[in-house]
Amino acid sequence: MTESLSGIPLKPSYDASDLAGRNLARDLGHPGRFPYTRGLYPEGYRTKLWTMRQFAGFGSARETNRRFKFLLKSGQTGLSTAFDLPTLMGYDSDHERAQGEVGKCGVAIDSLEDMEELYSGIRLDSISTSMTVNGPAAILFSFYVAAAEAQGSKIQDLRGTLQNDILKEYIAQRTWIFPPEPSLRIIVDLIKFTGKHMKKFNPVSVSGYHIREAGATAVQELAFTLMDGFTYVEACLKAGMKVDDFAPRLSFFFNAHLDFFEEIAKYRAARRIWAKHMKQIYKARSPRSMHLRFHAQTAGVSLTSQQPENNIIRTAIEALSAVLGGCQSLHTNSLDETIALPSELAAHIALRTQQVLAYETGVTNVVDPLGGSYFLEWLTDKMEQEAELYFKKIRALGGVVPAIEAGFYQREISDSAERFQKEVDEKKRIVVGVNQFALEEEIFHPPILEITRQTESAQIRKLKKLRKTRSNQRVRRSLEALKKATSGKSNVIPFLINCAKAYATEGEIVETLKKEFGEYIPPSVV
């Protein structure tokens, strides 16, 4: 039998009998109404398009700043920042573990000085800014706030999203620093801080993207992501917060993969599940607390180094599924991402893909145009049912953190990845240009963006100069105050911002926090 990418068995066709007696005319509902299956807003994209937020970051802050300005000039409507691996892991660029990785998969940010240069000439109170960072997210957020204030911006005017989803790091991506409990404490502190001072800012983007990239199915991505979201809600409630005070600023980040209808069903099911749980379990009263707002990024794992020109087609189809599924913002991958960091040409094509969808195809004219399709409604129901089964399994293990420690997620994702690869190897699933329609010689060779060792050397020289020219006494005082705050119950975010303003480096701040919080050691999984 034919199956979806998640392994859901599919019939040749669907009709009213597949909807278990549901009366679509009565039950389908309308966009903008609970449980928001058909979309959060009655007018959809007719009144406001999704934010076109191309992910960018490489080399130095100065180089990435130039790319930002190129994308903005080309019509991008929001910034999205990629950081290099040392930054994601909390290491300064001159740390021994950073050697050879500085600026390679994102921009190197060691201190407020780098953050100021990263956004030089870009008013942060006039554009929405996303930062993809998790373990040291609160530290990079502090650099961002300090940089904005140095520009003269008021923090209450800042708009954007901090990924700040540590649970999915333990599940899939593995760029953690601290153990789960102190990590959750910092996240709750940041949610409290932004709720009081930055009501336009999203302090967490609960991310299924990296879970999917690790090999999860669409069903697993849906279930694991929402379960992480529920865990953040419960952590905030445990800290004494009221659900309607923080839930409206939680956001989500999903993968837009190649199984077109399954992806659309995933997004519709996600909205419905979140709305039901927030209202029925967590007793939210504000409709905004029930809104699942999400960013989507096309699937990096679906791209191939063979015949990279085919990646333009894959990305366009994946982007279309995200738009038809009702995303609030979107990143389209570049055709060369399996070979190197995106070149300017490839980034340009990726952005134009979104613009063609928005302005030339007519898909923005009607909200949820596929709503009422027997197949799509059945598949949306099926995705919801399968996700609920996963919720029961995870709760039976004691919740997300105990399930991580038991290796549940790792085994589930590993099994799914193995099944998919076996299907590709046996040609039960065709990947164009890889296991079918291969060429003896490539006909297209994209330009390669190369990051040289000179980038690392220059970054280290800049860092050493900073340590000599700043007030090291002020740095020591700010780090001592942070250490004292971590050992008590104070909200650590104002102390982190003070460290940033003193030009303490990310590595210095991380080492201070490690003394109180320790480091995370993953369990052995068999």
d(Cα 269, Cα 265) in Å, to the nearest integer? Answer: 6
Whether pLDDT at 526 is above 70 = no
The predicted pLDDT at position 24 comes to 77
E strands, 145-262, are 160-162, 201-202, 204-207, 250-256
Could you give the CA distance from residue 315 to residue 333 in angstroms, rounded to a whole number?
6
CB 278 within 8 A of CB 246: no
Specify whether domain 16-37+49-409 bears CATH 3.30.70.100.
Answer: no
pTM score above 0.85: yes
Q: Backbone phi, then psi, for 481, in 5-degree steps?
A: -65, -40
Proportion of the chain above pLDDT 70, given as a percent: 99
- Cα–Cα distance, 225 to 232 (Å, whole number): 11
Average pLDDT over residues 90-102: 97
| Size (the chain), residues | 526
CB 88 within 8 A of CB 134: yes
- Token output for 439: 């060429």
Alpha-carbon distance of 55 to 164, in angstroms, equals 16
pLDDT surpassing 90 at residue 52: yes
* Separation between Cα atoms, residue 444 and residue 461, nearest integer Å: 39
- Radius of gyration in angstroms for the set of CA atoms belonging to the chain, rounded to a whole number: 23
d(CA 294, CA 253): 5
Q: What is the pLDDT of residues 319-370, one digit of tens each?
A: 999 999 999 999 999 999 999 889 999 999 999 999 999 999 999 999 999 9
Q: How far is CA 198 from CA 85, 194, 195, in A?
A: 28, 4, 6
Residue-wise pLDDT tens digits, 403-444: 999 999 999 999 999 999 999 999 999 999 999 999 999 999
The DSSP code sequence of 471-524 is -HHHHHHHHHHHHHHHHTTS-SHHHHHHHHHTT--HHHHHHHHHHHH----PPP
Question: Does 64 score more than 70 pLDDT?
Answer: yes
Task: State the pLDDT at residue 25.
Answer: 67
pLDDT band at 401 (very low <50, low <70, confident <90, very high): very high
pLDDT at 477 over 90: yes
d(CA 65, CA 113): 13
Inter-axis angle of helices 493-501 and 506-517, nearest 10? 150
pLDDT tier, 155 (very low <50, low <70, confident <90, very high otherwise): very high
Task: Note the pLDDT tens digit of each residue in 246-258.
Answer: 999 999 999 999 9
CB 161, CB 295: distance < 8 Å: yes
Average pLDDT, the chain: 96
Q: Are strands 51-52 and 55-56 parallel, antiparallel or unpaired?
A: unpaired
Residues with Cβ within 8 Å of residue 139, at least 6 apart in sequence: 90, 496, 500, 506, 509, 510
Where residue 23 falls among pLDDT bands split at 50, 70, 90?
Answer: confident
The CA-atom distances, in angstroms, between 293 and each of 258, 309, 472 are 21, 32, 43
In 3-state terms, what secondary structure has residue 243? helix
- Report the C-alpha gap between 368 and 387 in whole angstroms: 22
In this predicted structure, the answer to whether residue 318 has a pLDDT above a threshold of 90 is: yes
Mean pLDDT of 287-300: 98
> Given this model, what pLDDT does residue 79 score?
94
And the tokens for 420?
């998919």
DSSP state for residue 172 in the 8-state scheme:
I
Nearest to 404 by CA among 139, 183, 97: 183
pLDDT, position 525: 55
Residue 82 — φ and ψ, nearest 5°?
-105, 130
Q: What is the predicted pLDDT for the residue at 451?
A: 86
Q: Could you state, in order of their start, the residue ranges of all structural domains in the chain?
A: 16-37+49-409
Structure letter (DSSP) for residue 337: T
Please list the residues that pair with 206 across neighbouring strands: 252
Across the range 74-99, mean pLDDT stands at 96
429 burial (CB, 10 Å; 0-12 / 13-18 / 19+) is middle
Cα separation, 191 vs 15, in Å, equals 45
449: pLDDT confidence band, cut at 50, 70 and 90?
Answer: confident
Maximal CA-CA distance, the chain: 74
